[in-house]
Amino acid sequence: MNPVYLKLSRATAALPVEASRFWGNPALPEGVEYPQYIDDDGCQYPYVFICQINLAELKAFCGEIANPLPSSGLLLFFAKIDHYLGMPAPSGGIMGAISDTEAVKVIHVADLTDLREIVLVDEDDQPMSPHELEITFSHHHDPLNDEDHALFARPDHREWATWDPPYEDWQILLQVDSFSGPDFNLNFMDFGVLDILISPAALRAASFTNLRALVLST
């Protein structure tokens, strides 16, 4: 699968709840709670919501091009990247080595009925997530001018031939580049990238429970 690049722009109006979006509020069905984790000190924290991909929109974009993801529903990405947004950093975040499974959470929502946006607020009752950005898909990427956000990204930021054992054949499901906006600054170790990895078997089975992540900075 060739990379599908995510082009981000400020939405001119509120996006539909099921639309692809970066930042903003995730859309989850009734009964599915916002994912939380317990850090090394026993404290509970919410994962940072990165983005959600409307899989029907992705399928329509890909057309006749093979796409290994499900053809419908939402795919939502969450990760322990508080530190890279300048937030207080719970222990156990994603670093330069391949993480354990708890560092990243990806949820596939197959049924888009009864969706509702989950809004996290801080102690001052202000939204914790940066303002939502609209996602459009592209096969074209200008490395000099475009941010390197992509599904199925090539491992161009890796300085070695393969991932460390036993992940040699794993591929990048989502890559997120360092970038900034009016209400956030996302910096992965000197302007690197976050890579979320999936095994070929898990991708074929559309299973998103055993993923890994790492930050690469060249």
| 10-residue averages of pLDDT along the chain (218 residues) | 93 92 96 89 91 97 88 96 86 87 95 92 87 95 87 94 95 97 93 97 96 92
Give pLDDT, residue 145: 78
* Residue-range domains of the chain with CATH: 4-216 (2.30.320.10)
Cβ atoms of 112 and 136 closer than 8 Å: no
Tokens representing 188 are 């992965």
Predicted TM-score of the model (pTM): 0.95
Task: Supply the pLDDT for residue 122.
Answer: 84
Do the beta carbons of residue 7 and residue 20 sit within 8 Å?
Answer: no
pLDDT at 42: 84
Q: How far apart are CA 83 and CA 80, in angstroms?
A: 8
Q: Find, among 215, 201, 199, 211, the residue nearest to 108 by Cα.
A: 211
Distance of CA 198 to the CA centre of its chain: 13
Ranges assigned E (strand) in 39-168: 44-46, 48-54, 74-79, 104-109, 115-117, 133-138, 150-151
**Which CB contacts under 8 angstroms, 24+ apart, belong to 17-20?**
17/115, 17/116, 17/117, 18/54, 18/74, 18/112, 18/115, 19/54, 19/57, 19/134, 20/51, 20/52, 20/53, 20/54, 20/57, 20/58, 20/134, 20/135
Give dist(CA 106, CA 80) in Å, integer. Answer: 12
